[in-house]
Amino acid sequence: MSRFFSKRHKDLTPYVPGEQPRVPVRIKLNTNELPFPPSEAALAYAASHTRPLNLYSDPESVELREELGKLFGFSPEEILLGNGSDELIHFCFLAFCDREHPAVFPDVTYGFYPVSATLNHVPYETIPLREDFTVDPRQYYSVGKTIFLTNPNAPTGIALSLGEIEEIVRHNRENVVVVDEAYVDFGATTALPLVKRYDNVVVLRTFSKSRSLAGGRVGFAIGCRDLIADLNTLRNSQNPYNISSPSTALAIGILKDEEQTLKNCAAIAETRTRTVRALREMGFTVVDSVANFIFVRAPGLGGEAFQLALRQKGILVRHFGDPRIADYNRVTIGTRDQMDDFLAVCAEILEAKK
Ligand SMILES: *Cc1c(COP(=O)(O)O)cnc(C)c1O
């Protein structure tokens, strides 16, 4: 730290992103990307529809918001684009939280929330998940704080039902509820219908997981006009050209090939089912997941030891240091072939330990 770094940030511990290896590894299952690239049709659309690069990108992302509006049934005024949904999370902390409106989220959830809270000088409280890693919705009733819920939750993969989310929203009409749906397309139910009925809910989505565009950095928020206008005020005060022209064209191309997205998500869900079954047969503890990752505990091996053993064989998975989940690893669901290879390596590791 230099002697010039503002004391304002003395409590800040930055988020540590999962490793992005610079040399190819055998299988990369550590950051929940889709193993499939954007379709040929999406790439072809982008190649012929990217705005000239000497010009700035559209600061209002009009076309992309219209396309999203058509797909999800909202007007463009109810939609805002972010440079990844991480940027939108930051805007939500900036817009809807302060010392009078602290934040609240589960003790085990997306690690970016406490970082964004600290960066924005927002006090926060965490509510422990139940013993089985589920969220107890009642603990969020009338909390008097801005609520952040990842649904399905990460790194557990467990989802709340639409009814449970609605009850949380209904019991918090004086607070904003942010529902982060980064993984919803792999088998959970979206809270988007609530946006039509409640003025205190924001749903966050991303192209990074189910839509093959993690490297493009495109996320979006859907909420009532007033909430979206608030977020847009902050966006325009911080980074008005936050979506690049190539990423915009790619995102539109991907939306125009929605059928491919649905196929990809179905393939991942099927591979998840096979992988979970095989791991349980080998003695692993596997949390029931509706996301594109699974949370697993290897029999007789600590979480860190299992991660290192996989790493020695060229397989990357994600381990979190938090003592409550230290025995577990989060494993992204890859292609069928990748998961067969992963399962074979798991068997080798267990065999070598005997
Ligand atoms: C991956 C992820 C995001 C952010 O993704 P972006 O790449 O910034 O769009 C947001 N929330 C959760 C829970 C995630 O896992």
Answer whether residue 106 shows pLDDT above 90.
yes
Q: Per-residue pLDDT averaged across 126-149, rounded?
A: 98
Centre of ligand 1 to C-alpha 84, Å, is 7
Q: What would the pLDDT profile of 281-315 be if each residue is shown by its tens digit?
A: 999 999 999 999 999 999 999 999 999 999 999 99
155 lines ligand 1 (CB under 6 A): no
Is the confidence at residue 156, as pLDDT, over 90? yes
Rounded to the nearest 5°, which phi and psi values hold at 113? -60, -50
Asked if the model's pLDDT at residue 354 lies above 90, the reply is no
Residue 221 in contact with residue 228, Cβ under 8 Å? Answer: yes
- How many Å lie between the centroid of ligand 1 and the Cα of residue 319? 17
* Residue 228 β-bridge partners: none
What the block records as the tokens of 314 is 């060229």
Quote the CA–CA distance of 324 and 123 in Å, as a whole number: 22
Give me the count of residues in the chain.
Answer: 354
Distance, CA 156 to ligand 1 centroid (Å)? 14
| Structure confidence by residue, pLDDT tens digits, 67-77 | 999 999 999 99
Atom of ligand 1 nearest to the CA of 89: 10
- Measured from the Cβ of residue 22, the count of other Cβ atoms closer than 10 Å reads 6
The per-residue pLDDT for 254 is: 98
Q: Work out the end-to-end distance of the chain between its first and last CA atoms, rounded to an integer number of angstroms.
A: 47
By DSSP bridging, strand 124-127 and strand 201-206 are unpaired
Between CA 210 and CA 293 the distance in angstroms is 12
Sign of CA dihedral 4, 8, 12, 14: negative
Cα(262) to ligand 1 centroid in Å equals: 19
Q: Which residue has the tokens 């029931």?
A: 288
Q: Which ligand 1 atom sits nearest the alpha carbon of residue 219?
A: 9
Nearest-angstrom CA–CA distance, 319 and 147: 26
User: Model confidence over 158-170: pLDDT tens digits?
Assistant: 999 999 999 999 9
**pLDDT score of 74:** 98
pLDDT grade for 337, boundaries at 50, 70 and 90: very high
| Contact (CB, 8 A) for 337 and 50 | no
pLDDT higher than threshold 90 for residue 155: yes
Q: Please report the pLDDT score of residue 317 as a whole number.
A: 98
Nearest Cα to Cα of residue 236 among 67, 85, 82, 89? 82
Using alpha carbons only, what angle is made at residue 163 by residues 159 and 169, rounded to the nearest 5 degrees?
95
pLDDT digits (tens, 9 = 90+) for 14-69: 998 999 999 899 999 999 999 999 999 999 999 999 999 999 999 999 999 999 99
**For residue 8, pLDDT beyond 90:** yes
353 pLDDT exceeds 90? Answer: no
Phi and psi at residue 346, to the nearest 5°: -60, -45
Residue nearest to atom 11 of ligand 1 (CA): 182
Task: Name the residue of 180, 203, 217 whose CB sits within 8 Å of the most ligand 1 atoms, as the mutation to test its pocket.
Answer: 180
208 lines ligand 1 (CB under 6 A): yes
Average pLDDT of 246-256? 98
**From the CB of residue 195, how many other CB atoms can be counted at a distance below 10 Å?**
24
- 39's CB contacts (< 8 A; 6+ apart) are 254, 257, 260
Give φ, ψ of 110 to 5 degrees: -60, 125
High-pLDDT (> 70) share of the chain, %:
100
